[in-house]
Amino acid sequence: MKKTVIFLCLLALVTVSQAQPKISRVSFPKEVAVYSLYEFSFNLGGYANPYDPEVIDVYAVFRSPEGKTFRVNGFYYEAYHLMQKDNIEVAARNGDNDGWKIRFTPDAVGRWTYEVHAMDRSGAAQLSAYKGTPLAFDCVAGDAQGFIRKANTRYLKREAFVNGKRKYRSFYPVGPNVAWYSTADYYAFKKPYGIYEYQRYIDSLAGNANYMRIWLNRYQYLSLYGPENVLRNSGRPRVYFDTEINQKDAAELDYIVSYAAEHGITLMPCVFNPADFRNDSEALNKCEQYNSMPSGWKYNPFHTVLGLQRPLEFFTDKEAIRITKNLLRYIIARWGYATNILCWELWNEVDNVFYGESSNATEKQAVLDWHATMAALFAEQDPYHHLLTTSTASLKGWEDFEKKIFNHLDLVQRHYYQNIQKAKSKEQVSQRLMDLSGVMSDAYPSKLTFFGEFGFGSNANRIEVNTMDPRGVDLHNALWSSLFSGTAGPASYWRWSYLDEKDLFRYFRPMLTFCKSLPVLSETFTAMTTGEAQGSAMVFPNGLETYYMMNAAEDTLLGWAQDEAFTYQALRRLTDEVGDNGHFVDHAINDPKGYVYTLDPAKKPRPSSKSNDIVIPMRNQRRGTQYRVRWFDAETGKEITSAATTVTVKNILKRKRHLALPFPESVRDVKNGRINNTFGDAVFLVYKIKG
């Protein structure tokens, strides 16, 4: 099969038009707002492989009012009209509007000019005017937000125009994964399907979050390559690969990107997924059990069409690399314009592609080299310089591989899951996320870090978070603690169906509200905790579990503190039986109406200590240095104005300097033995004012 693909590619080179490319049926606007889409549409005629720049290369060169130039690739486009019928997406071709497009986003107000180039084996064409009208447009002031950039080695910022001037605001990605829409078979046509399911999720996130992670690589759902579940030939799935991209799914992605932008949601699109490269029978049987059109190497076009025998050949085969480069080039050309693309993700959990495969150091190096090659492609082809990442599942024994995989990327991304049945305090998800964040930061001190997935996995007996944490206590706690773990934003939760079922999308809103009040932070902030390990347990002074960050100058601190009686494990220990192994006994719920399951105020724990002080060690500040403390409600993200106070650096036994932050009595009323909010927590921002 591999030889057939090569023959078709050679045929494409000799069957193109023998005259130079002819640009016709041109359409372009004369004005556009700053940071908004400018789209140039035209026709070129037919090509055997319009996705290969060796067959037909189309691009434009834009010149800004300041004289900067941007090269932007064009892309082949088939028009689809997406409609809703009985909550189900129906896609219809509109062939009259097929053609080519160039999408561009201007970042400066003023007059822009450009020319369009098209080159094939027969010659080249250039267009700088059409029917006497120069290719140019006026970019006017608008209120759209710009691209997301690296502010420093730890945090992000976003461009904006305010009163005609370029400004930068802090940006913290706050939101979950919504990796795919479900199949119509799964929903039995009772719920929205296709883009309308994504529309429903985006509507739920709007105002609560500003980010979600999506996948471009599930054959059952949204996928540019591979078998198509809806569009079939003679009852069999149509397979898209190399000379064809699934234009129906590309139209879906157009809609998703645009609809998300309209509702304030940024995206991390992930291109490849190890499930499509799994070659073991266990994974395949699982896929075939749950999906009408399964994933797996058995169905992967790099195997079925190109003829690769082993998944790891994907990283070394020259044809596979050529096809992959063309796919990534197309993705950049069609969606790179979008200011709400936070980051491109090459692979979801790339280390899992080795699962069930024997591998050696040479093959692992090939994966590293592949990432370096594709990083170079993005650096060359993406005129907007979006961030680039891949992700790892942190498999044991892969530490050396993980320390190298991000060398050529911008964002270090790890995924972490915790068994919901673990009962020990040392296994708090909050603490583990902070520990792993430190590992990432130590391995890559000059790079951004992020938990692209986290969750509370089921155990062998399918004990799941939907049942054991229906009120999202662990979710709330892990989101707040991970915000102060030194990563670019709070960890992104995986199981979006759980969030939907339990109405928990609103739990992201407090973090979003709080983060909007923060400036761009210094890269020197270090994540810390007030806890101390004592044996197998983590002990927190005064019963206040605290996670915080402080810069090297010790003039700014920010963090989250919670009465330890309200940790998820502590609440479940009040209701569930704990076995000898330190895990909760499966289905052994002594009090199903306990606080963790109901949030019933009558079941709420009392404060776990009589003291309200959070003790923060200070190393560089003199005794008597003054700080202002601002407190924020962890359920709303808004400031608790009555709790603002001033604190002073003091000594403990004339030796250790420290700040004692008084936890708001309006939340934790130790005098009367009451907790006055749902989760017994609050957020603080502390900054030096004198000394």
Per-residue pLDDT tens over the stretch 123-137: 999 999 999 999 999
Q: What is the pLDDT of residue 691?
A: 74
Taking only the tens place, the pLDDT of each residue in 463-481 is: 889 899 999 999 999 999 9
Q: What is the pLDDT of residue 637?
A: 96
Burial of 466 (0-12, 13-18, 19+ CB in 10 A): middle
Q: Is residue 616 part of a domain?
A: yes
Q: What is the pLDDT of residue 399?
A: 77
Give the mean model confidence (pLDDT) for residues 607-627: 92
Rounded to whole angstroms, what are the CA distances from 557 to 120, 213, 562, 687? 58, 29, 16, 6
Q: Which of 309, 405, 389 is nearest to 351 (CA)?
A: 405
Q: What is the CATH number of the domain that holds 338?
A: 3.20.20.80
pLDDT at residue 302 is higher than 90: yes
CB 273 within 8 A of CB 214: no
Q: Is residue 148 part of a domain?
A: no
Same domain, 477 and 395: yes
Among 363-367, 423-427, 517-521, 581-585, the least confident range: 423-427
Confidence category of residue 96, pLDDT binned at 50, 70, 90: confident
Q: What is the CATH number of the domain that holds 26?
A: 2.60.40.10
Q: Is residue 160 part of a domain?
A: yes
Q: What is the pLDDT of residue 519?
A: 84
Confidence category of residue 429, pLDDT binned at 50, 70, 90: confident
Phi-psi region of 372 (alpha: psi -120 to 50; beta: other; left: phi over 0): alpha
The one-letter amino acid at 514: F
pTM score of the predicted model:
0.93
Taking only the tens place, the pLDDT of each residue in 572-597 is: 999 999 998 889 999 899 999 999 99
644 is written with which tokens?
């603002």
Q: Which of 451, 460, 455, 512 is nearest to 485 (CA)?
A: 451
Same domain, 276 and 320: yes
Q: Is residue 528 part of a domain?
A: no
pLDDT at residue 401 is higher than 60: yes
Count CB atoms within 10 A of the CB of residue 129: 11
Give the residue, 311 or 293, on which the prediction is more confident: 311
Q: What is the pLDDT of residue 17?
A: 40
Q: What is the pLDDT of residue 181?
A: 81
Q: What is the pLDDT of residue 314?
A: 96
Q: What is the pLDDT of residue 234?
A: 61
Taking only the tens place, the pLDDT of each residue in 134-173 is: 999 999 998 889 999 999 889 999 998 887 788 899 999 9
Q: Which of 406, 405, 449 is nearest to 154 (CA)?
A: 449
What average pLDDT does the structure give for the chain? 89
Same domain, 127 and 168: no
Same domain, 93 and 186: no
Give the mean model confidence (pLDDT) for residues 77-97: 87
Same domain, 462 and 573: no
pLDDT at residue 411 is higher than 80: yes
**How many distinct structural domains can be found in the chain?**
3
Q: What is the pLDDT of residue 430?
A: 83
Rounded to whole angstroms, what are the CA distances from 297 to 293, 352, 357, 462, 472? 13, 13, 12, 27, 36
Give the residue, 353 or 305, on which the prediction is more confident: 305
Give the mean model confidence (pLDDT) for residues 442-448: 91
Q: What is the pLDDT of residue 12?
A: 40
Same domain, 137 and 160: no
Give the mean model confidence (pLDDT) for residues 265-293: 75
Same domain, 132 and 241: no
Q: DSSP characters for 583-594?
A: BEEEEEES-TTS
| Residue at a domain's end among 491, 519, 547 | 519
Helix %, strand %, coil % of the chain (to 5) = 30, 35, 40
Torsion of CA 6, 8, 11, 17, to 10 degrees: -130
Same domain, 133 and 235: no
Same domain, 165 and 58: no
pLDDT at residue 292 is higher than 90: no
Q: What is the pLDDT of residue 7?
A: 37
Q: Is residue 419 part of a domain?
A: yes
Same domain, 496 and 564: no
Q: Is residue 527 part of a domain?
A: no
Taking only the tens place, the pLDDT of each residue in 628-657 is: 999 999 999 999 987 778 999 998 765 688
pLDDT at residue 14 is higher than 60: no
Confidence category of residue 4, pLDDT binned at 50, 70, 90: very low
**Coil, strand or helix: which one is 361?**
helix
Q: Which of 389, 374, 413, 148 is nearest to 261 (CA)?
A: 148
pLDDT at residue 15 is higher than 50: no
The residue range of the domain holding 570 is 556-690
**Coil, strand or helix: which one is 287?**
helix
User: What gap in Å lies between CA 506 and CA 336, rounded to an integer?
Assistant: 30
Which helix (DSSP H) or strand (DSSP E) does residue 515 occupy?
helix 509-516
Q: Is residue 532 part of a domain?
A: no
Q: Which of 409, 480, 473 is nearest to 172 (CA)?
A: 480
| Residue at a domain's end among 495, 519, 543 | 519
Same domain, 349 and 487: yes
Same domain, 15 and 104: yes
pLDDT at residue 176 is higher than 70: yes
Q: Which of 241, 250, 233 is nearest to 101 (CA)?
A: 250
Q: What is the pLDDT of residue 655?
A: 63
pLDDT at residue 196 is higher than 80: yes
Taking only the tens place, the pLDDT of each residue in 209-226 is: 999 999 998 877 889 999
Query: What percent of the chain is predicted at pLDDT more than 90?
Result: 66
pLDDT at residue 356 is higher than 60: no
Q: Is residue 538 part of a domain?
A: no
pLDDT at residue 3 is higher than 50: no
375 is written with which tokens?
């990083």
Q: Which of 134, 112, 114, 115 is nearest to 65 (CA)?
A: 112
Q: What is the pLDDT of residue 16?
A: 39
| Residue at a domain's end among 460, 492, 519 | 519
Q: What is the pLDDT of residue 6?
A: 41
CB 630 within 8 A of CB 653: no
